[in-house]
Homo-oligomer: A and B are copies of this chain.
């Protein structure tokens, strides 16, 4: 049913993006809106999907992301690592009567910890399939929940999640720093200074209070707080990620360009080179690869 074209949907917590893919694999139309899974009322997914088809055409749907979580449409069980696109394709979760399927997320467990991802796996496999990244590499995938991923032979071997984006949003909305947290984050001097502090061993909860004290005592300008705080969080994130990354060389940073450039700047502070990859392009390649596996 997929060979005459389909719709690819990247359906996250707060946003969704839909793409109409034609029979030769080209993207012919797309849209993005704020109807993430938290914006869909209980029982509202069939209507939300009908809306997508009204916009992009009456085609089968291949979906990925939080739509397959316990807070989404239906829960598509996690596939354990190591896993590649073939395994994902074998575990697609079909939705009866809807000409639709959900790509499952990945889980990782070892003796000491557990981890999960939903959505990033499609981009990772897509980037390999499209030749954007080598099949063996370390990937950093920033977002609400940043993922540090080890790819081996095109499979996700292990990964570690850091809730940097969510923490930044929490600090913006309701914290002793909120009053200063509006404004854009640029990878300038305040950001780099934050990264250096974040790379140190002290707890983020200590460094974050230091931001407030720094402003009160005139050490830090209020207008520099968003960039400095972003640097702190990303610095601590990078320190943790590199501790778990197994490749010594370049790190691939994949995702939204406004985030990947911040991580690239923080990695540079540690002496690591990085290669930035646009997540949207990788997503389409990943859905294409999964469809190829089942047709």
The listed residue (B174, B239, B243) touching A174 by CB distance below 8 A is B174
In angstroms, Cα B215 to Cα A113, docked, is: 11
The listed residue (B113, B203, B210) touching A237 by CB distance below 8 A is B203
The answer to whether A202 and B243 touch across the interface, beta carbons within 8 angstroms, is yes
The answer to whether B162 and A213 touch across the interface, beta carbons within 8 angstroms, is no
The answer to whether A237 and B206 touch across the interface, beta carbons within 8 angstroms, is yes
Between-chain CB contacts (< 8 Å), 30 pairs? A70-B216, A78-B217, A107-B216, A107-B217, A113-B213, A114-B213, A114-B219, A114-B220, A115-B210, A115-B213, A116-B212, A116-B213, A161-B210, A162-B209, A163-B176, A163-B206, A163-B209, A167-B205, A174-B174, A201-B239, A201-B243, A202-B243, A203-B236, A203-B237, A203-B239, A203-B240, A204-B204, A205-B233, A205-B236, A206-B240
Tell me the smallest distance from the CB of A74 to a CB of chain B, in Å: 15
The answer to whether A205 and B237 touch across the interface, beta carbons within 8 angstroms, is yes
Tell me the smallest distance from the CB of A29 to a CB of chain B, in Å: 33
**What size tier do the contact residues of chain A reach?**
35 or more
Which one of A205, A217, A236 has the greatest number of beta carbons of chain B within 10 Å?
A205
Q: Is A145's beta carbon under 8 Å from chain B?
A: yes
